[in-house]
Structure 1
Amino acid sequence: MKSSVAGSAAGPAADAPAARQDAGGGPLVLARVCAQGHANPPTRAQCSVCGAALLPDAVQVARPRLGRMRLSTGDLLDLDQSMVIGRQPSVSRVQGGVMPRLVQVASPGGDISRSHVEVRLEGWHVMLCDLKATNGTVLVREGQPPRRLAQNEMAILLDGDIAELGDNISLRFEEIP
């Protein structure tokens, strides 16, 4: 079965995530910028986009897209806001006044919980949180054995990390180079 992705990365909004964020007054992060205006984490010495030297002082900027999630269904989701993924996702509380994107995936075997995981953006970090999923979430990281997250456990995602949800549905985090 093909998944239905609510708020997927299709359409004009996906082409200009930074513009949408700026217009909506998205979350601010402390960043070092290059002469071209590319925002970078304050710990970087060179621009991750163009390789230029960064200005010495950090400034507050609208947080840029932090990467994307590649679903095993083929869907690509830009990480320009937090998201809740499950077979019928919903949220009861909104953190920071920003509603996360709700991403629905098919679960014919019922392995995936209604709201299974949250992909949360905090500053420059992409976090994965198991939302008390009945059948759990397995984090697969290169060079390490697969690890089942505890209920409500949060883990920082690294480029290439895979979250296995069940029913052959997985999410792969792809960092922006």
Structure 2
Amino acid sequence: MVLASLCPRGHANPPDLGQCVRCGHALLGDLRQVPRPVLVTLALSSGEQVPVAGDVVVGRAPQPPAGADAHLVALVSVPSATHLVSRSHLIFTTAEWNVFVQDLGSSNGTVLARPGHAAVLLPPYVPTPLLVGDLLDVGDGVTIHVEAPR
């Protein structure tokens, strides 16, 4: 659940905005707790589209993190013929209205390319905030583009 401001069409928005991010209508100023909406869509180089409203683990044979409720974690398998992509390579997490990515100590790392900035290798086990437009390269030709929710 997240605290949200609703527009006249019922779209949930972060409470600090003045207009709806989906339809542009003025927000009503009425705050309420709502189920977290999809915050971003992950566009994989395979063509798969993955909505993110909770935890998502990506890898060649992904597993939920230790102690996590397996029913609450989306597992996304990606091809890796040369095994450059680790079994559980990275995890996407949410907090309030933000999305984070964390490399799970993968063998070959994860590169984050953000428009207007130099590409960086993500440090392992450090949550990094994501923005729409970011591109993640996990190796073996597998990329993940962070897009606005659909």
TM-score, normalised via structure 2 length: 0.93
- What is residue 128 of structure 1 aligned with on the other side? 101
Between 1:56-65 and 1:125-134, the stretch displaced more is 56-65
Q: Which has the higher strand share?
A: 2
Q: In 2, Cα distance between the equivalents of 1:58 and 1:30?
A: 6
Q: In 2, Cα distance between the equivalents of 1:45 and 1:98?
A: 35
Question: 1:18-167 maps to which residues of 2 (within 5 A)?
Answer: 28-91=1-64, 92-94=66-68, 99-167=72-140
- What is residue 25 of structure 1 aligned with on the other side? none
Kindly provide the CA deviation profile for residues 29-62 of structure 1, in whole angstroms up to 9, marking residues without a partner as x: 0000112211100111001122111122321111
Q: In 1, Cα distance between the equivalents of 2:119 and 2:98?
A: 21
Identity within the alignment, %: 38
Gaps of 5+ in 2: none
Q: Which runs of 4+ in 1 moved over 2 A?
A: none
Q: In 2, Cα distance between the equivalents of 1:102 and 1:176?
A: 19
Q: In 2, Cα distance between the equivalents of 1:154 and 1:67?
A: 16
Task: Describe the SS at the equivalent of 2:102.
Answer: strand
Gaps of 5+ in 1: 1-27
Change in 2 beyond 3 A, CA 1:126/1:98: farther
Q: In 2, Cα distance between the equivalents of 1:98 and 1:75?
A: 20
Q: In 1, Cα distance between the equivalents of 2:105 and 2:129?
A: 17
- What is residue 15 of structure 1 aligned with on the other side? none
Task: Describe the SS at the equivalent of 1:37.
Answer: coil
Q: Which has the higher helix share?
A: 1
Please report how far the alpha carbon of residue 80 of structure 1 lies from its aligned counterpart in structure 2 after TM superposition.
3.0
